[in-house]
Structure formats: C-alpha cells, structure tokens
Amino acid sequence: MTKFNWREIGVGLIVPVALITLWQLIASMGWVNPHVLPSPAAVVERWIAYLLPQVPYSEAPGSWLAWAVSGELIIDSIGSMFRVASGFLIGAALALPLGLMMGASPRVYALLNPLAQVLRPIPPIAYIPLAILWFGLGNPPAVFLIAIGAFFPVLINTIAGVRHVDGIYIRAARNLGASQRTLFLRVMLPAAVPYILSGVRIGIGTAFIVVIVSEMIAVNNGLGFRILEAREYFWSDKIMAGMISIGMLGLTIDIGVNKLNNHLLRWHRGLEH
C-alpha cells in the first residue's frame, strides 16, 4: 500500500504557511484596505459562515441532516459538481470513441482532423452567446460549455495515444497472426490508456475552469455565481472564501483522479506493493 510521505507534505506546506503568515501580518498592520485584501482570519470566518446553515435548527421542517447540509457552500458545491460531472461525462463520452477511430484509421483522421484543429483553439467561453441562445439560462448551457471544454483534451490525447503505439508491438502482433480487431483491442487500446487517462485528467481540470465562468453568466447558484454575487456587494472575504472552496474541490478531484490513474496503470509501471 502507498504510504503518506509526511516529510514531503511538510516541505510542501512551508511556502503556503509563510505566505499566509505574511498576508496576516500585512492585514494586521493595516497596510491595505480590508475591503480590498481581507485578512486570512476574516476569510476563514466568512468561509465558516458560508459553510454553516443560514437558519437555526428546528425539528419541524425536516431532519437534522437536511438542516446540517443546507448551508450555501454545500448547496453551491453540489450544484457545481453536478454540472462538472454531467458536462465532463458527455464530452468524454463523445471524444473517446471519436478519438479511437481517428487514431486507428488514417482515413477517418484525414477526414476529421482539419475540422478538429479549427475548432480546438476556440475557447469554451466564446460559445457563451450561442449556448444562451440555444439553451437559454440554467444548467443546459453550463453543461454544454463544460462538455466542449472537456471534449478536446480527451480527444487529442486519445488520438495521440493510439497513433503513438510502438511499431514493434504492432509488427509482433501481426507476425503472430492477430486480426485487426484483436490488434486494436489487445495492443493499441491498452498502449493508449496512459494518454487517455492524461486527457481525462486535463479534461476534468478544464471542466472545473469552465463551470465557474458559466455559473457567473447562465445560472443562479453554484460557486461561480456566489463569487459574482459577492463582487456586487464588495464582499472580498466571501470572494476569497469561494476561491478557496474551488481550490479545495479541485485539489480533491485531482488527487482522486491521480490515484485512479496510478491504480489503473500499475501494469504500465510494473506491479508495486
């Protein structure tokens, strides 16, 4: 089993702790306007208030658990994560088979690659007017934008993975009499898995970026919406609390995806215990 490297974690905390200490010192000395740069203590206080339920507990409306998870932060996080998951799954589900076909077939690649290369540089944010025009407001335009953001990283990495399979493996399989189907399923696809998983990791990161932007424009809840709302009221501490929440969620997802990648790629690195 993998063990935590506490020394490495401790070293990694040195710079963040030093920066937070310096930030708190600057705020305590009154060198900056607290409305512009609130202290870390004020941000943490606002984050806790953002997390906790807005109304006192009462047994009448429902269970204690429903009340405990009624805080704005939890509701906003659930809304954002739902959009990220929905958009990413749609984008990846479209990109993966298309990438496999483009990587395995030179004809399909020649046919579709020019279109992919034209559309790929267009940022998902540029689709916002069309998304609102086509889908209106709410979750559909946000999911659409996230799907676009996740689509191209998965597509490009899948194509690269299939096309960069070592020719030695392909020639060896053909010499052993492998059919084209067996060659694809048993040689090309497993060899492309590291590329595909890298694309998945990048795609999830892109989806998380896009969801914040889309929530600032198309929906009325979520972490992005709450940050924009805080800006309207000059609540800089709540803006930073929302940013910290985004960072924590993103870090948690990235760690989970990285561990999944390491588990699935044990055969690629050699079995480790």
Dump pLDDT digits (tens) for 24-82.
898 888 888 878 888 888 889 888 988 887 777 676 566 767 767 777 888 888 988 99
pLDDT over 50 (residue 126): yes
Residue 268 has a pLDDT of: 59
Place of tokens 């390491």: 262
Token pair belonging to 186: 């048993």
What are the residues whose beta carbons fall under 8 Å from the beta carbon of 10, sequence distance 6 or more? none
How far is 160 from 115, CA to CA, in rounded Å? Answer: 16
Mean pLDDT of the chain: 82
Q: Assess contact for 120 and 152: CB atoms under 8 A.
A: yes
Closest CA to 103 of 182, 194, 170, 189: 189
Give dist(CA 56, CA 173) in Å, integer. Answer: 68
DSSP per residue over 127-156, as a string? GHHHHHHHH-SSHHHHHHHHHHHHHHHHHH
163-194: pLDDT as tens digits: 877 667 666 777 767 666 777 767 777 777 88
What do you get for the CA distance between the two ends of the chain, in Å?
6
